[in-house]
Structure 1
Amino acid sequence: MDLVAVTRAGYPWDRTDSSGTPDGLATSHDGLDWHHVRQPGQALPLDIYIERASLGIARLAKARRVAAIQAASNHVNALPALIAARRLGIPFHYELRGLWEMSRAANVPGFAGTERHALGLELEAFVARHADRVFAISQALADHVAEQWGLDRARIALLPNGVDAQGFAAIAAEPLPRTTIGYAGALVAYEGLDLLLDAMALLREQGLTLDLIVMGEGPLREGLEAQARQLGLGDAVTFTGRLDPAEARARMAACHIACLPRRRSAVTELVPPIKLVEAMALGLPAVVPDLPVFRAEAQEGQTALFFTPGDAADLARALAVLATDPDRARRLGQAARQHAHGNREWNAIAQAVVQTLPSRDVDAQDADAEMAEPDTGWIVPEADRLIAALGQGDAAPARAAMAATAFADGAQAAREWLRLGKAAGEHGHLPAERLAAEEAVALDRGWARWPAPMPRRNARGHLRFARNGCWRCSIIPKRAPIAPP
């Protein structure tokens, strides 16, 4: 089986927190070749981003003659891949690694129940309903989406967290001199790190002093550091910030106990953290909350100890058991390693995907699939001058020229704005691309007036439909869905 790996369109060029950008549009990492699609950027309106990104994916898939397309969550990444698969007439698989809207709701008070929260979940459901196969990270998540979104359970399979067993077996570290708890992950509310600090303070009051290494970054770091000082744990807790994955694993391997103090929430009841399997693969005993996704992975008293979610005293009890009985902790760690290496090796897990791939010839791709954007020449005069002005942040010349140009209708005018923006973006002017897209959206959705009535089909032949008096472009080309495998 050949694998063609593609990063999300625009990534990492459209991320302000990126640590760097690729030297080219093809790179290699851990023995896997990656393709990068530089445009469009995610700053564009979502529907325009999705439509344009789908073309880049479809062109690559057609050129490489792929038999199926699989995309990982969330919908921003998956919708373009879904459309690309439908363009080519090949199966689409959706890999649900979590539900970002639930994660945000667990960390941001007031986000749950907002329009953005509801829209995000509905788009997740939309992708899953149109997928030929859905892979869920846990049985709990599989059950949830089947019940909430009305998915056929026959189309859902498990694709759990895994590890490169050979790579983890090669990680060796000298244990730290004092009993140390290790945590690697985001510093966000639902991870419950404040609870872990409270538990350590309780243990210190009982005469048991433990060290803690917190590897990762997040919005709660400053507050957690202040809490550690207030509890008198400043000398026992180390915050490393974000580390390279290899360094984080090496430092975790030197710890004695892995702790995942997650609080109970909608997302923590459905989505298991990959750091649990990785800690087990390193041979560490784990202390984890008594939640279904942890029960499905770890065995009480054999590979991990459980505590009541949200209960600092019970968390302190579980930590004390392992800290005061090194032999028991070692036995649990050895059993955890055996479980992870024997049941969570990526090569074995990947077979769940391979078995669903079509056996047919890739020539079954739709040979007539539309891969090119229409280009009949510029309608607006002096387009090059307008593009240059947009690149300098000056939209006035383009607005004046567009207003003076006789377009057939508003759809044609909106398309011309998009083409101007795309041309500016191709020269590296991403803000100009976004500005032009906003002008196009204003026309397309009725926020800006145009003399001619809006048509029922846009320039690409996609259906348009009315909603609240505005015309919008549908994002799925009209093709018959692929039958489930």
Structure 2
Amino acid sequence: MRKPLSIAFIVRDPLPPARADVLTLFGTEMPRYGVNTELVGQAGGNETADWPAGGMYLVGSLRSRFAAVLSPLWDLRGLLRALTHIRPDCIQVRDKIASGLLGRIAAAILRVPFVYWMSFPIVEGFEVRRDEFRGVKWCAHALRAAASRFVIYRLVLPGARHIFVQSEAMADWLASKGFRRSRMTAVPMGVDDTVFDRAAVTPSQDPRLDGRRVVLYLGRIARARRSDFLLDVAEGLKQAVPDALVVIAGDAASNDEMEWMRAEIARRGIEDHVLLTGWLPQKEALGYALRAEVGLSPIPRGVLFDVSSPTKLVEYLALGIPSVANDIPDQRLVVEESGAGLCAPMETGPFVAAIRRLLEDKALAAEFAKRGPAYVRSHRTYAILGRIVAETYTKILPGAKPER
């Protein structure tokens, strides 16, 4: 019997993992191909949870005020723990900069490939954060951003045998910086089709939805994401479709952000046209989704989000919800390939017009609802994405032949 592959994987997200592109992709799909993962990172929740696909080495906590500074040292300690149990076939780092350099050095010492997984342009995020400050704070954040830029683009990525990226747009963006396109594989966000199956979800019985034309946004609230655009849309629909209700099913990263959103709703006087649910368990949130006639996925344009691969549009399509998304590259690609939604610039007039078209043209909405699940099943489930990742490991890891 062939020995399974083993990957030592340093992650930025809190452990145990909650994101599907770690939990489902590496916890469920990779073991099907004989690829086990030893996760290294910081605790963020239930520290006693098991990791079914290998080992999990939690050192430190993301709740610590010193996490940003100590994370590389914690990751070194966790990696050393992992190496006492396994000799990995590669070392992989996700979205960490200093620990990315640590991973490259460790891989060189062990004489195994180093792989980097980029799901977000971290350095550019630091630069956006820098420009929110003035004076001494600006200088501190500027130093952090400049040092991070040097480390990731001069020391970490050049030493990677392969780079997994979030989207084809991100691959093109990195290629424009001089990295070979042949060294990259795009792994966009997908869904677990056993969870996002309309037949497996119970519609919400919330009486506030009764008699309303429900338009849904399923996701995080944040100023950086221009979440108040959803309120612009609600105001635009208010006159043309009086019984429309914009349901925002999600939470914010902080109480301040939620209070900002509630204050904006009150200031505009649209309490009867917006339902802000706050945090919901996944099954309950999907119950609200099943009551929706249209799903919304507006994502601001710019360097941070243009290279992203938003999950919510794919989730809507998997559930058979006709959708309106704006024109960031990955969403435009999904809309064009699936034929299950409309693409509009993130401007109130065009977005409202696209929503009204789906609310008024029932035949078009029904056709979109039929096309969405079929597209997701053939393009964006983690079973499909898992095969792509496994085939990539076959090419980049010496002697690797993972088979289902």
TM-score normalised by structure 1 residue count: 0.64
Residue matched to 2:111: 89
Residue matched to 2:56: 35
Does 2:141 match 1:100? no
Distance 2:69 2:270 in 1: 49
In the alignment, which of 195, 200, 221 is matched to residue 187 of structure 1? 221
Distance 1:75 1:56 in 2: 16
Does 2:22 match 1:22? no
The alpha carbon displacement at 1:7 in A equals 4.3
Residue matched to 1:11: 43
Contact 1:40 1:53 in 2 (8 A): no
For residues 139-150 of structure 1, the aligned pairs below 5 Å read 139-148=168-177, 150=178
Contact 1:171 1:253 in 2 (8 A): no
Residue matched to 1:220: 257
Distance 1:352 1:321 in 2: 36
Does 2:226 match 1:201? no
Does 2:294 match 1:257? yes
The alpha carbon displacement at 1:185 in A equals 2.1
Give the secondary-structure state (helix, strand or coil) at the position aligned to 1:183.
strand
The alpha carbon displacement at 1:56 in A equals 2.4
Deviates further, 312-321 or 219-228: 219-228
Residue matched to 1:342: 378
CA deviations on 1:236-260 (whole Å, 9 max, x unpaired) are 2222222333433333233221111
Change (3 A) 1:87 1:347: farther
Contact 2:170 2:308 in 1 (8 A): yes
Contact 2:191 2:381 in 1 (8 A): yes
Does 2:93 match 1:65? no
Distance 2:300 2:164 in 1: 25
CA deviations on 1:321-375 (whole Å, 9 max, x unpaired) are 112223322321221221111101212212232223324389xxxxxxxxxxxxx
Give the secondary-structure state (helix, strand or coil) at the position aligned to 1:299.
helix
The alpha carbon displacement at 1:52 in A equals 5.0
For residues 413-428 of structure 1, the aligned pairs below 5 Å read none
For residues 252-291 of structure 1, the aligned pairs below 5 Å read 252-291=289-328
In the alignment, which of 145, 154, 158 is matched to residue 186 of structure 2? 158
TM-score normalised by structure 2 residue count: 0.76
In the alignment, which of 132, 139, 144 is matched to residue 116 of structure 1? 144
For residues 435-454 of structure 1, the aligned pairs below 5 Å read none
For residues 328-477 of structure 1, the aligned pairs below 5 Å read 328-357=364-393, 358-360=397-399
Give the secondary-structure state (helix, strand or coil) at the position aligned to 1:314.
helix
Give the secondary-structure state (helix, strand or coil) at the position aligned to 1:297.
helix
Distance 1:303 1:195 in 2: 23
Contact 1:54 1:83 in 2 (8 A): no
The alpha carbon displacement at 1:33 in A equals 5.5
In the alignment, which of 173, 188, 194 is matched to residue 202 of structure 2? 173
Distance 2:123 2:167 in 1: 17
Distance 2:400 2:299 in 1: 46
Residue matched to 2:10: none
Residue matched to 1:432: none
Residue matched to 1:466: none
The alpha carbon displacement at 1:109 in A equals 4.9
Give the secondary-structure state (helix, strand or coil) at the position aligned to 2:336.
coil
The alpha carbon displacement at 1:127 in A equals 2.4
Contact 1:190 1:262 in 2 (8 A): no
The alpha carbon displacement at 1:43 in A equals 5.3
The alpha carbon displacement at 1:145 in A equals 1.4
Distance 1:307 1:40 in 2: 41
Distance 1:247 1:69 in 2: 38
Residue matched to 2:8: none
CA deviations on 1:204-258 (whole Å, 9 max, x unpaired) are 1234431122112145322222222233320222222223334333332332211
Structure 2 unaligned regions, length at least 5: 1-33
Does 2:159 match 1:130? yes
Does 2:79 match 1:54? no
Structure 1 unaligned regions, length at least 5: 13-19, 363-485
Does 2:351 match 1:315? yes
Aligned length: 348
**Higher Cα radius of gyration:** 1
- Aligned-pair identity in percent equals 22
Distance 2:172 2:97 in 1: 19
Distance 2:36 2:108 in 1: 19
